[in-house]
Amino acid sequence: MNVMTHNGYSARIEYDAEGEIFFGRLAGISDGVTFHADTVVDLKVAFQEAVDDYVESCAKLGKEPQKPYSGKMMFRVDPEIHARAAKAAELAGKSLNQWAAEVLAKASERAA
């Protein structure tokens, strides 16, 4: 994966062949923070500056910078899947939240 991280923020990096530039956007926040550069070395600098500028700009505005993720997830699944997951959690001696967190952690490690 083409991912950069800095001070708890991450961005997926892409390449625009037509413009011959690398570019990225901070992931996990709704504020649109983007950056770009012609070289990988310059892209790393631009990314770090984008994160630092975002945090500084928020401070100047008296706004709390968005954190990439809160740790809270809300999603819907088919009731049958919900029942099977709850049963699996109970049989493992865990809450559904604990069980789901472990399953998601394992699945996301494989994807990373």
Segment 47-65, tens digit of pLDDT: 999 999 999 999 999 999 9
The residue type of 67 is K
Do residue 87 and residue 47 come from a single domain? no
Q: Are residues 56 and 25 in the same domain?
A: yes
Could you tell me the pTM of the whole model? 0.65
Q: Based on the fold, state whether residues 11 and 55 are members of the same structural domain.
A: yes
Using alpha carbons only, what angle is made at residue 53 by residues 62 and 24, rounded to the nearest 5 degrees? 125
Range of the domain at 48: 3-61
Same domain, residue pair 55 and 87: no
Mean pLDDT, rounded, for 105-109 = 89
- Enter the tokens of residue 61: 């505005």
Q: Is residue 74 part of a domain?
A: no
Domain presence at residue 67: no
Number of domains, the chain: 2
